[in-house]
Amino acid sequence: MEVTQQHLAAIENTPARPGLSMNYGVRVSVVIPALNEAENLKYVLPRIPTWVEEVILVDGYSTDGTVKTARALRPDIRVVYQEGKGKGAALRSGFDAAAGDIIVMLDADGSTDPVEIPLFVGALLAGADFAKGSRFVQGAGTADMPRYRRLGNGGFVRLVRLLFGGRYSDLCYGYNAFWSTVLPYLDMDSEGFEVETVMNVRALRSGLKVVEVPSFEASRVHGTGRLRTIPDGWRVLKALWREWLRPKRQVSYPLISQQVARAARQIQGDVPDIQ
């Protein structure tokens, strides 16, 4: 897959901004699962803020030149090959490889905009343990959810409120960010598209401080998505039932607060400009 001069110029012309990793001692890793997303990566990778220290592409053994395109667009990208099948397995491989203090989940199809990353990182620096994207709060929206999926998502949200409490406005959205120290409490073991639902529920049940971040979901830039409404909806429903039967685990707050306190000392009480 050829990368045009226009794509390379987009990278070269991205304005340099003060980096959290350079000035504030907080390293940000972005994890991107991908399977045959070469065309979409040309849109996604150049939009990642320049202060992001580490970008990890988790490749599901693509056949369209995804890895070659990613390396041409961003020579410093880390490529990890997925272990197991499904989006959940891909994210698990990426999280295991991430070295950052903060981990951001990003889709490779262009539906989640990298320009929003500062909103998620800012929520974490302000004291959240887990920053959860929502398409249904003020300032958010979606261009990629038919009415029947919107109704299904709404039903799952109400079910989670009934079973687990909390006030989530969205459930099946994959744009999340969190301190790497919370990974043991998410206990990643999901394989498919139910992974975001399970992460959100476990963050809630563990007592993590979860903040919803407004996010706009765009339509996939190129190609056809792999989400199957009925089968994947059934997987989400079964995952919620399993979580209801699962023993509750409480987070050890000193573990999280130490990370946030270290970041606060680095910025010496100032809020970094990451817009």
pLDDT tens-digit readout, 169-205: 999 888 999 999 999 999 888 877 789 999 999 999 9
pLDDT at residue 15 tops 70: no
| Contact residues for 217 (Cβ-Cβ < 8 A; gap 6+) | 111, 112, 135, 141, 142, 143, 144, 145, 173, 175
Residue 177 falls in which region: left (phi positive, over 0), alpha (psi -120 to 50) or beta: beta
Q: State the average pLDDT over residues 131-160.
A: 87
The whole-number pLDDT of residue 18 equals 39
Higher-pLDDT residue of 263 and 72 is 72
Confidence of residue 261 (pLDDT cuts 50, 70, 90): low
Q: What is the pLDDT of residues 101-111, one digit of tens each?
A: 999 999 999 99
The whole-number pLDDT of residue 10 equals 44
Q: What is the pLDDT of the chain when averaged over all its residues?
A: 83
Instruction: Tell me if residue 14 falls in helix, strand or coil.
Output: coil
pLDDT at residue 24 tops 80: no
Listed residue (11, 19, 80, 94) closest to 53, CA to CA: 19
pLDDT at residue 150 tops 70: yes
pLDDT at residue 269 tops 60: no
Listed residue (232, 186, 181, 177) closest to 92, CA to CA: 186
The whole-number pLDDT of residue 117 equals 97
* Tokens representing residue 177 in the block: 């960010």
Could you tell me the pTM of the whole model? 0.82
Structural domains of the chain in order of their starting residue, each with its CATH number: 15-263 (3.90.550.10)
At 74, the amino acid letter reads: R
Q: What is the pLDDT of residues 221-253, one digit of tens each?
A: 886 655 556 676 678 888 888 888 887 766 665
Confidence of residue 220 (pLDDT cuts 50, 70, 90): confident
pLDDT at residue 135 tops 60: yes
